[in-house]
Amino acid sequence: NAGVTQTPKFRVLKTGQSMTLLCAQDMNHEYMYWYRQDPGMGLRLIHYSVGEGTTAKGEVPDGYNVSRLKKQNFLLGLESAAPSQTSVYFCASRGGAPRGRDSGANVLTFGAGSRLTVL
Amino acid sequence: AQKVTQAQTEISVVEKEDVTLDCVYETRDTTYYLFWYKQPPSGELVFLIRRNSFDEQNEISGRYSWNFQKSTSSFNFTITASQVVDSAVYFCALSEAHYTGANSKLTFGKGITLSVRP
């Protein structure tokens, strides 16, 4: 009963370093998302994917890249970390819409979060 | 564009008090879904409830109740007889419906931090 698993849970980086956050889900969900959570800002969407091999920009995509090579995995990359990217990152997944139905009803399942600090 | 406003940022109550968390939304769609999530101090996000725009019945689950009013675009959450374990950040969220099966992004409010004191 793993659901959505994020690794690593904690990471400290120096400015300019690169890293990748991995999100894995075992629910065969079509849609996957990366959010960041900052104090007073709520959850903001960075990038999302509507299926294997697809990615799209969300609300705050700058400085991040993503890939969805396999349906179960959604990777978030920081090529050159900046202090402004210090945040808690959440991955989420959600089932796609059956033919003729809408996807809006489907509940997001979240991972436990990854706390990233950039010095 | 869709928007969710949680005007209250922090609420502090004493245990056993009732507390209402407000949520106001904006959308151009006639079909949409509203959600509440809870984030306890441990940090995970826990789904509480989903309501679709065609169902305005209030819902009660134990000490939790939700009041959905389309006329005022509000989806408020009330905790009756609050307990210390209710201390958390609560997020309201909105998802528009897309019958083509395309992705429906979830837009979150900024969250309300509820502190329940013994």
Looking at residue A51, its pLDDT comes to: 87
Contact B110 A40 (CB under 8 A): yes
Answer whether residue A100 shows pLDDT above 70.
Answer: no
Question: Which residues in chain A touch residue B6, judged by CB atoms under 8 angstroms apart?
Answer: 42
In this complex, the residue of B91, B97, B105 whose CB is nearest that of residue A42 is B91
For the residues of B37-50, what is the DSSP string, one character each? EEE-TT---EEEEE
Looking at residue B26, its pLDDT comes to: 95
Q: What is the pLDDT of residues A51-97, one digit of tens each?
A: 899 999 988 999 999 999 999 999 999 999 999 999 999 999 988 66
Share above pLDDT 70 across residues of chain B, in percent, rounded to a whole number: 93
In degrees, to the nearest 5, what angle opens at C-alpha B110 toward C-alphas A1 and B41? 50
Give the residue from A103, A107, A109, A110 with the most B CB atoms within 10 Å of its CB, the best one to mutate. A103
Question: Which residues in chain A touch residue B31, judged by CB atoms under 8 angstroms apart?
Answer: 102, 104
Tell me the nearest-neighbour CA distance from B91 into chain A, angstroms.
8
Q: What is the pLDDT of residues A8-34, one digit of tens each?
A: 999 999 999 999 999 999 999 888 999
Number of C-beta neighbours around residue A15 at 10 A = 11
For residues A60 and A81, give the distance between their C-alpha atoms in angstroms, rounded to a whole number.
15
Question: Which residues in chain A touch residue B105, judged by CB atoms under 8 angstroms apart?
Answer: 33, 45, 48, 58
Number of C-beta neighbours around residue B109 at 10 A = 25
Judge whether A52 and A93 are in contact, CB under 8 Å: no
Find which of A33-37, A93-97, A103-107 is predicted with most confidence, using mean pLDDT: A33-37
Looking at residue B102, its pLDDT comes to: 54
What integer is the mean pLDDT of A41-52? Answer: 90
Q: What is the pLDDT of residues B84-114, one digit of tens each?
A: 999 999 999 998 776 444 566 788 999 999 9
Task: Tell the residue number behind the tokens 């329940």, with chain if given.
Answer: B116
Looking at residue A104, its pLDDT comes to: 63
Looking at residue B103, its pLDDT comes to: 63
Looking at residue A107, its pLDDT comes to: 83
What integer is the mean pLDDT of B60-78? Answer: 93
Looking at residue A45, its pLDDT comes to: 92
Name the average pLDDT for chain B: 90
Judge whether A110 and A90 are in contact, CB under 8 Å: yes
B7 touches chain A (CB under 8 A): no
Looking at residue B101, its pLDDT comes to: 47
Residues 13-42 of B with CB under 8 A from A: 31-33, 35
Looking at residue B100, its pLDDT comes to: 47
For residues A118 and A16, give the distance between their C-alpha atoms in angstroms, rounded to a whole number.
9
Contact B98 A103 (CB under 8 A): yes
Tell me the nearest-neighbour CA distance from A46 into chain B, angstroms.
11
For residues B116 and B13, give the distance between their C-alpha atoms in angstroms, rounded to a whole number.
5
